[in-house]
Structure 1
Amino acid sequence: MVICLEGDGILGVKIGDIVAVEYIGTLDNGGVFDSSESQGGPLEFKVGGGQVLQGFEDAILGMEIGDKRAIVLEPSQGYGEYSKNLVETIPRSSIPNNEKLTKDTMLLVSLPDGSKMPATIIAINEESVTLDMNHPLAGEALHFEIKVVGIS
């Protein structure tokens, strides 16, 4: 998983620490899907708190302030593989305010157990709507360049 490491990382980040990291996330094609700069500054989270992808969290363990690391998370370590089973066509009439639906609109879908899941409209016609409930980054390898800028 680790491609490149600068810094010794002997003591550094451990479970329970609050860390601040600068990062940029790209896909295999080089396209940026997220960055700390686009989010307004460093990402802060508690290590071991489950607030970020496990592979991202694992990668910063042992890093010290100023250390940089480049990692690649395969789909199984990120948002999972793309599943055609999570694509479903439903009657358009079953969606409230269906007159405002357009392709690429994201909806919050209620599941039979009462939980809710985001879904993207990938096709629409007068009778039906096709929803994709995969995460938008499902099936993608995620490349991150990470720099630790704070540990407390």
Structure 2
Amino acid sequence: MKKICLLLILSIIAFSSGCADNGQSEIVEKGDNISVNYVGKYDNGTVFDTSWINVSKEAGLYDASRNYEPLSFVVGAGQMISGFDNGVLNMTIGEKKTLKLSPDEAYGEYKKEYLIPVPRSDLENNSIVPEIGKQVGTLMGVATIVDITDTNVTLDFNSPLAGKNLTFDVEVVSIEKASK
């Protein structure tokens, strides 16, 4: 009986020492490299992006050439939109959170000055057939063709998500602490 009690006491000590928090739980802090799964949605609930393959298929967004895996980034390094960066702070591994972002926290307000007309011949001379909705790479960045006339093509340099309120359902998958 004494052996059983001693084993029981040792087991409790060993178990509790391995499970003690000691204030060391990993929480997301600036500088940490983290991985998250996410679903990005418009206000009306329509999914526009996700790291989950099953969600992409359900939303009709599936792209066979894409890798559906957690998104990794360094928190606070400017790799993400500000609302996403700030929204994951203090989360823990396995924690889920819904981030509701205004345009200022996401891709900014839509700016009419980012609509730039260019001569249609400039695109055609570069073997680009102008089509509404087509994205084209320029020296100024990627733009979407939004209007075509006989002489000009209007390029929109706004992000397609500019001016929109966005919702992200986020789950932290891993945290690699920044070296101190």
Q: Deviations over 1:88-130 (max 9, x none)?
A: 22221122335622111111222xxxxx221111111321111
Q: Which residue among 154, 157, 160 is the counterpart of 1:136?
A: 160
Structure 1 residues 21 and 88: alpha-carbon distance in aligned structure 2, compared to 1, 3 A threshold: same
2:74 matched residue in structure 1: 46
Matched residue, 1:5:
none
Q: Which has the higher strand share?
A: 1
| Alpha-carbon contact 1:24-1:145 (below 8 Å) kept | yes
How far does residue 11 in structure 1 lie from its aligned partner after superposition? 5.2
Q: CA RMSD in A?
A: 1.7
Residue type of the alignment partner of 2:111:
S
Partner of 2:39: 24
What is the one-letter code of the residue matched to 1:52? M
Q: Which residue of 1 aligns with 2:30?
A: 15
Structure 1: 5+ residue stretches without partners: 1-9, 111-115
Deviations 1:48-106 (A, max 9, x none): 22111121111111111111111111001111111111112222112233562211111
Q: CA deviation at 1:29?
A: 1.5
- What is aligned with 2:108? 80
Name the aligned partner's letter for residue 61 of structure 1. L
Structure 2 match to 1:7: none
Distance in 1 (alpha carbons) for counterparts of 2:128 and 2:39: 38
Alpha-carbon distance in 2 for matches of 1:60, 1:99: 41
Structure with the higher fraction of residues in helix conformation? 2
Residue 56 of structure 1, aligned match among 84, 93, 110: 84
Higher relative contact order (CA 8 A, sep 6+): 1
Please point out which of 111, 119, 122 is paired with 2:146. 122
Task: Could you list the structure 1 runs, at least 4 aligned residues long, displaced by more than 6 angstroms after superposition.
Answer: none
Aligned partner of 1:4 in structure 2 is: none
1:150, distance to aligned residue in structure 2 (A): 0.9
Q: 1:66 aligns with which of 94, 106, 116?
A: 94
Identical-pair percentage? 41
1:22–1:88 CA distance, 2 compared to 1 (3 A): same
Residue aligned with 1:100, SS: coil
Aligned residues: 138
Is there any run of 5+ residues in structure 2 with no aligned partner, and where? 1-24, 54-66
Which structure is larger by alpha-carbon Rg, 1 or 2? Answer: 2
